[in-house]
Structure 1
Amino acid sequence: MILWSTALLVWMAAGARVGRVLVKPATTARVAIVVAVAAVALAATVAVPEIAVALDNLVPRGVHAGRLSEGVATVGWIAFTTATSVVASAAWPVVSRRNLRQVGLLVYGVGLFASVVTLAWSFTFGWSTVAAGCVFVVLTGLRNLDWTALGRGIALFTAGTAVVAVLATGQVRRAFEHAPRGASGAPSWAWPVWGFASLLIALGAVWIVVELWVRARVLLRRIHSLHRTMVDRFPEVVAHEQSGFSTQLRASDQVAQIIDAFYLQSGGGLVQAELPPPASVADRAARVARWARDPVGEFVVDARWIAPPEGISPRGWVQAVARAYRTTASEPARN
Structure 2
Amino acid sequence: MTLWLAALLVWVAAGARVGRVLVKPATTARVAIVVAVASVALGVTVAVPEIALAIDNLLPHGVHPGLLSDGIGTAAWLLFATATSVVAAAAWPVVSRRNLRQIAALIYGGGLVAVAITLAWSYTFGWLSTVFGCLFIVVTGLRNLDWTTLGRGVAIYTTGTALVAGMSALQIRRAMIDAPRSAPGQPEWGWPAWEVAALLIAFGAIWIVVELWLRARVLLHRIRLLHRVMVGRFPEVVAHDQPGTSTQLRASDQVAQIMDALYLQSGGGVELRTAGQPPASIAQRADRVARWAGNPLGEIVIDARWIAPPEGISPRGWVQAIARAFETTDGAHAEKSASR
**Normalising to structure 2: TM-score of the pair?**
0.94
* 8 Å CA contact 1:46, 1:73 repeated in 2: yes
Q: Deviations over 1:107-153 (max 9, x none)?
A: 00011001100110000000000011000000000000000110000
Question: Which residue does the alignment assign to 2:124?
Answer: 124
* Aligned: 1:264 with 2:260: no
Q: Deviations over 1:62-107 (max 9, x none)?
A: 2111010110000100110000000000001111100000000100
Question: Which residue does the alignment assign to 2:15?
Answer: 15
* 8 Å CA contact 2:161, 2:201 repeated in 1: yes
* Aligned: 1:278 with 2:279: yes
* 8 Å CA contact 1:273, 1:300 repeated in 2: no
Counterpart CA distance in 2 for 1:175 and 1:287 is 70
Question: Which residue does the alignment assign to 1:25?
Answer: 25
**Normalising to structure 1: TM-score of the pair?**
0.96
* 8 Å CA contact 1:52, 1:69 repeated in 2: yes
By how many angstroms is 1:189 displaced? 5.3
Matches within 5 A, 1:77-96: 77-96=77-96
* 8 Å CA contact 1:159, 1:200 repeated in 2: yes
Counterpart CA distance in 2 for 1:327 and 1:73 is 58
* 8 Å CA contact 1:226, 1:325 repeated in 2: yes
Question: Which residue does the alignment assign to 1:312?
Answer: 313
Q: Which amino acid aligns with 1:68?
A: L
Counterpart CA distance in 2 for 1:32 and 1:147 is 24
Match of 1:240, SS?
coil
Question: Which residue does the alignment assign to 1:297?
Answer: 298
Match of 1:244, SS?
coil
Question: Which residue does the alignment assign to 1:43?
Answer: 43
Any runs of at least 4 consecutive aligned residues in structure 1 with deviations exceeding 4 A, and if so which? 183-189, 329-333
Question: Which residue does the alignment assign to 1:75?
Answer: 75
Counterpart CA distance in 1 for 2:303 and 2:127 is 66
By how many angstroms is 1:270 displaced? 2.1
Question: Which residue does the alignment assign to 1:144?
Answer: 144
Question: Which residue does the alignment assign to 1:112?
Answer: 112
Counterpart CA distance in 2 for 1:188 and 1:61 is 21
Question: Which residue does the alignment assign to 2:288?
Answer: 287
Which stretch of structure 1 is more off in the superposition, 273-282 or 291-300? Answer: 273-282
Q: 1:309 to 1:163 in 2, by over 3 A?
A: same
Question: Which residue does the alignment assign to 1:177?
Answer: 177
Counterpart CA distance in 1 for 2:140 and 2:182 is 30
Matches within 5 A, 1:164-243: 164-178=164-178, 190-243=190-243
* 8 Å CA contact 1:135, 1:165 repeated in 2: yes
Q: 1:279 to 1:63 in 2, by over 3 A?
A: same
What percentage of aligned pairs have identical amino acids? 70
* 8 Å CA contact 1:134, 1:162 repeated in 2: yes
Match of 1:26, SS?
coil
* 8 Å CA contact 1:175, 1:184 repeated in 2: no
Q: 1:86 to 1:12 in 2, by over 3 A?
A: same
* 8 Å CA contact 2:212, 2:248 repeated in 1: yes
Match of 2:206, SS?
helix
Q: Which amino acid aligns with 1:88?
A: A
Counterpart CA distance in 2 for 1:144 and 1:271 is 46
Q: Which amino acid aligns with 1:326?
A: E
Counterpart CA distance in 2 for 1:254 and 1:243 is 14
* 8 Å CA contact 2:137, 2:161 repeated in 1: yes
Counterpart CA distance in 2 for 1:246 and 1:36 is 26
Structure 1: runs of 5+ lacking an equivalent:
none
Question: Which residue does the alignment assign to 1:248?
Answer: 248
By how many angstroms is 1:279 displaced? 1.1
Match of 1:86, SS?
helix
Counterpart CA distance in 1 for 2:119 and 2:270 is 76
* 8 Å CA contact 2:271, 2:305 repeated in 1: no
Counterpart CA distance in 2 for 1:278 and 1:29 is 46
Counterpart CA distance in 2 for 1:211 and 1:69 is 36
By how many angstroms is 1:185 displaced? 6.4
* 8 Å CA contact 1:174, 1:184 repeated in 2: no
Q: 1:23 to 1:331 in 2, by over 3 A?
A: closer
By how many angstroms is 1:175 displaced? 1.1
Q: 1:273 to 1:243 in 2, by over 3 A?
A: farther
Residues matched between the structures, number: 330
* 8 Å CA contact 2:47, 2:188 repeated in 1: no
Q: Deviations over 1:237-263 (max 9, x none)?
A: 011122401110110010001000011
Counterpart CA distance in 1 for 2:178 and 2:264 is 78
The Cα RMSD (Å) is 1.6
Match of 2:112, SS?
helix
By how many angstroms is 1:327 displaced? 1.7
